[in-house]
Chain A
Amino acid sequence: MASDLAVLPSLATLTDPQPFVIAGREFRSRLMVGTGKYASNAQMIEAIDASGAEIVTVAVRRVDLDRSKADAILHYLDTDHFFLLANTAGCYTASEAVRYARLARAAGFNEWVKLEVIGDQQTLLPDTVGLLQATKTLVDEGFKVMAYTNDDLITALKLEDEGAVAVMPLASPIGSGLGMLNPYAIRTIKQRLSVPVIVDAGVGTASDACIVMEQGVDGILMNTGIAAAQDPVRMAAAMKSAVEAGRHAYLAGRMARREVAVPSSPTAGMIGS
């Protein structure tokens, strides 16, 4: 019955019972990607296409006036096809992050921001006090704040209270590729928050992404895990599959872990018994 094959579930045909919605807006992919560190703009575009991402992050920086032609990323990204999410990467105080968010909004695309307030140069771990201050200020100004934070439940709860539309705990430090260091913390944050929980930073390879999604979080944002791969375009495709596989594994509900073996084949009916 070859016709039945068409209805067999696969990653391509399975639907998600829960649409991926942030602040009332539905997005087509649970994988969000950054645009930094690529060898070329052409490679970046190809990798983003392969990732299937809709939300792409960008940074705000001074135009380099000494170069003959400014290399604005907007010359390469089709803003009708992608949702631009500006970040405040590189900001070390709440006021600096607020300034960058306002500059990003003035570009005229949207009022969303991936808010980062960094507390330490070596680890790039967030300054959660500054993050909460900046979140409050920006929410009051009408921003939709997606807050990059550490994997601390209390900070996550406070960010939600301040009006963040999504909370983005790290899997491990930015650019480290160490994968998810504390699955318990990530799961706990997801269980306790009402707003979407999107794991941001630390995913190094496809299995990392899959395990993150298996915790039940709403999505993943990554950049270096794709851009720093030997073949970024292929890794982007792998990440797309991994996020989908992890999501479906979560929805499917994994078997219980056991400390003892349980045979898969019948114990009865053995020859000679």
Chain B
Amino acid sequence: MMGTEVVDAEIALTVNGAERRIPTGWTLADILASLGLDPRVVVIEHNGIILRDRAAFASLPLAEDDTLEIVHFVGGG
């Protein structure tokens, strides 16, 4: 394949500790939508950095080998 431009249709990233494959070009908003998650009730850590700007994070592009932690509030004492 030397010299041939190959664009992978998918990339692999780690979401909550498990590998997931998503279409190339997806944003954070796309993956949240595909997981059925309401962006208003989750908090995202992207490659170790907490995303504090909710308005901006939807358009965040995702890349191969990215790590996402998607957390939310649950019952606790």
Where the two chains meet, the residues of A that have a C-beta atom closer than 8 Å to any C-beta of B are 34-38, 44, 57-63, 65, 68-75, 84, 86-87, 89, 102-108, 174-175, 201, 221-224
Interface centre among B18, B37, B76, B77 (most CB of A within 10 A): B77
Asked if B73 and A60 sit within 8 Å, CB to CB, the answer is yes
The residues of A that contact B69 with a CB separation of less than 8 Å are 62, 103
Asked if A63 and B37 sit within 8 Å, CB to CB, the answer is yes
The residues of A that contact B35 with a CB separation of less than 8 Å are 63, 65
Where the two chains meet, the residues of B that have a C-beta atom closer than 8 Å to any C-beta of A are 15-18, 35-38, 40-43, 45, 50-52, 54, 69-77
Asked if A70 and B36 sit within 8 Å, CB to CB, the answer is yes
How far is it, in angstroms, between the C-alpha of A221 and the C-alpha of B17 when the chains are bound?
A: 33
How far is it, in angstroms, between the C-alpha of A223 and the C-alpha of B74 when the chains are bound?
A: 14
The residues of B that contact A58 with a CB separation of less than 8 Å are 73-76
The residues of B that contact A68 with a CB separation of less than 8 Å are 36
Contact of B71 among A37, A63, A69 (CB under 8 A): A63
A69 to nearest B CB, angstroms?
Answer: 6
Asked if A72 and B77 sit within 8 Å, CB to CB, the answer is no
25 inter-chain pairs at a CB distance below 8 angstroms, sorted by A residue, are: A36-B74, A36-B75, A37-B75, A58-B74, A58-B76, A61-B74, A62-B16, A63-B37, A63-B42, A63-B72, A65-B18, A65-B70, A72-B42, A72-B72, A73-B72, A87-B76, A89-B76, A89-B77, A102-B50, A103-B45, A104-B73, A106-B50, A106-B51, A107-B72, A107-B73
Asked if A34 and B77 sit within 8 Å, CB to CB, the answer is yes
**Nearest neighbor of A38 in chain B, beta-carbon distance:** B75
The residues of A that contact B36 with a CB separation of less than 8 Å are 68-70
How far is it, in angstroms, between the C-alpha of A203 and the C-alpha of B18 when the chains are bound?
A: 39
A14 to nearest B CB, angstroms?
Answer: 29
How far is it, in angstroms, between the C-alpha of A103 and the C-alpha of B41 when the chains are bound?
A: 12
Asked if B77 and A87 sit within 8 Å, CB to CB, the answer is yes
Question: Which 8 residue pairs across A and B have the least CB separation, nearest first?
Answer: A59-B76, A34-B77, A223-B77, A35-B75, A58-B73, A36-B75, A72-B41, A72-B72
Interface centre among A65, A68, A222 (most CB of B within 10 A): A65
Interface centre among A34, A71, A73, A84 (most CB of B within 10 A): A73
How far is it, in angstroms, between the C-alpha of A190 and the C-alpha of B38 when the chains are bound?
A: 43
- Assess A65 versus B15: contact at CB under 8 Å? Given A70-B37, A224-B77: yes
The residues of B that contact A37 with a CB separation of less than 8 Å are 75, 77
Contact of A103 among B16, B38, B43 (CB under 8 A): B43
The residues of B that contact A174 with a CB separation of less than 8 Å are 77
